[in-house]
Amino acid sequence: MRRALTPAEFALWKHIRDRQLGGFKFDRQEPIDRYYVDFVCRERRLIIELDGGQHSESSEDRQRDSELSALGYRVIRIWNSDVIENLDGVLQMLLSELEREPLTPPLSPQAGRGRADAVRAFYESHPYPAPIGNLDRHRELYRKPDRRRALSLLLWPTEQPRANREILVAGCGTSQAAIHALREPDARVTAIDISETSLRYTRDLQRKYRLQNLALHRLAIEQVEELGQMFDQIVCTGVLHHLPDPDIGLRSLRNVLAQNGAMHLMVYAAYGRAGIYMMQEYCRLLGVGASDEELRDLGTTIGALSSDHPIAGVARRAKDFRNPDALADALLHPQDRAYTVPQLYAWLERCGLSFGRWFEQAPYLPQCGAVARTPHAARLASLSPPLQHAAVELLRGTMPKHNFIAYRDDRLGDSQPITFDGDAWRNYVPLRLPWTLCIRERLPPGSVAVLINRAHTYPDLALPIDAAQEQIFAGIDGKRSIGEILQNAAEAGGDEQARRFMEQLWEYDQIVFDATASY
């Protein structure tokens, strides 16, 4: 049975009934799945819900929106007060939503508008990363619980994987949100992006893989608080450096991070992108545009540069650099900045966050690779960690991005307490990172294997191991603690050597620790 309309519903209904709004047909109080929605335009799969203040924090509403959006409906929530006080604005916003391809809406008339117009226009025509239509391999990989456990331990080494976690993918691009939803079926994933094109690709994946745990919103990061939701995990990679004011973006994300939540961020690194900024300047001088032909010519031009041009290393290392959209993303982006390590630490502090760890830490550590073999290694190691990282960034000179984990600065308890001082480490349970490899060919003299993390781009970060170390390494099964592993491999070198080897495996990003027993 239909209930009586509220005053706001009545005011809106008067203007959208009988195809008055752009000729689109609306029904009111219609059943969809297990819900009654306030208004729906089935042709455009657009639902309008009018909310009073009491709805602002409602988890039922979020659940309902996510289920309706999994059915392919866009849900627009509008405040009653907006309808009463700004009916013309609301109707205009609805009309522009109706005229778009059926897709996800901003949550309020203001959302998704404003500061990021140029960036948004850019991503409408150059969605990034290159869209993918098939996640089958990814689904297979993440069926292995240890893979998910390893990722969770990177974020929270002292916790069992959080069930039912709320994940926000901010600036989700074409596939990242679908990947997270597929990977973590027990989590609820909310994804936001300002580009409809990116969301459309994500929606295709959502349909294909029936991702009921994924809710999509066309919404700018700067307006993320309009979701009225807090998140355990926030993923924001390759986005904040494109914002007109990255501080506003990061603070907004901080405001929706749960107190003991974790943020995975990736931003550009300044020194390693020097060649990119030179070529950006070059493109501006020449007025290079973003048409297919221009991008083809630009790709050919970059290909003709000498191998010691500062951009050559970046182009070689980035797997898709010659792809036109990747090229546009790197060289023609309307808004792009980069951070040195000290700038990054200061940025986090300004925005109420603290640094947790690098996703891959070996490239920043003086104990690893070629840096460890320089005469400065000991001096570098005597600095505080932030200064070590700053110095090693300068020494390496070519890091193009910083990929790291941050926490709220008012977090309760230590976020990354892994240490090899004291005795706590004996209780750590090591787990191999799933994207590592153990190679047994073309070995350096004296070694029986070389350990590689495929996410490392510096070849000097490969770790050769000898027979005694291999015996310890073979004991790592994700179940036994270091203490138990070392007992079984007692004869494989002394205790101090074994401790140092475990520490090295961790520094070189071969393993993560389940430290729940120690904290």
Closer residue to ligand SAM, CB minimum distance, 221 or 290: 221
- The least distance separating ligand SAM from the CB of residue 148, rounded to whole angstroms, comes to 19
Rounded to whole angstroms, how far apart are CA atoms 353 and 405?
10
Closer residue to ligand SAM, CB minimum distance, 129 or 483: 129
**448 token code pair:** 């029986």
- The least distance separating ligand SAM from the CB of residue 326, rounded to whole angstroms, comes to 9
- Give the CB-side neighbour count of residue 397, counting CA atoms within 13 A: 6
Closer residue to ligand SAM, CB minimum distance, 109 or 173: 173
- The least distance separating ligand SAM from the CB of residue 222, rounded to whole angstroms, comes to 6
- The least distance separating ligand SAM from the CB of residue 391, rounded to whole angstroms, comes to 28
Closer residue to ligand SAM, CB minimum distance, 235 or 463: 235
Rounded to whole angstroms, how far apart are CA atoms 450 and 446?
11
- The least distance separating ligand SAM from the CB of residue 121, rounded to whole angstroms, comes to 10
Edge-to-edge strands of the sheet including 401-408?
214-218, 188-193, 166-170, 231-237, 257-268, 401-408, 353-358
Closest residue to bound ligand SAM by CB: 173
Query: How distant, in Å, are the alpha carbons of 11, 162, 170, 188 from that of 213?
Result: 34, 16, 16, 5
Q: For the chain, what's the residue count?
A: 519
Closer residue to ligand SAM, CB minimum distance, 200 or 432: 200
- The least distance separating ligand SAM from the CB of residue 306, rounded to whole angstroms, comes to 28
Residue 80 DSSP symbol? H
Cα 326–Cα 332–Cα 335 angle in degrees, nearest 5: 105
Q: What b/e readout covers 45-59, taking b as 16+ CB neighbours within 10 angstroms?
A: bbbbbbbeeeeeeee
Closer residue to ligand SAM, CB minimum distance, 120 or 162: 120
Closer residue to ligand SAM, CB minimum distance, 171 or 356: 171
Give me the residue label for tokens 């297979």: 140
- The least distance separating ligand SAM from the CB of residue 164, rounded to whole angstroms, comes to 23
CB 206 within 8 A of CB 214: yes
- The least distance separating ligand SAM from the CB of residue 476, rounded to whole angstroms, comes to 30
Chain residues that interact with ligand SAM, rule: CB under 6 A: 116, 119, 123, 128-129, 171-173, 176, 192-195, 198, 220-222, 237-239, 242-243, 329
Side chain identity at residue 506, one-letter code: W
> Helices in 354-431 by DSSP H: which ranges?
369-372, 377-381, 385-396
Give me the residue label for tokens 């047994």: 440
Closer residue to ligand SAM, CB minimum distance, 201 or 506: 201
Closer residue to ligand SAM, CB minimum distance, 202 or 436: 202
Reduce the DSSP state of residue 431 to 3 states and report it: strand
Q: Is the peptide bond before 7 cis (omega within 30 degrees of 0)?
A: no
- The least distance separating ligand SAM from the CB of residue 245, rounded to whole angstroms, comes to 10
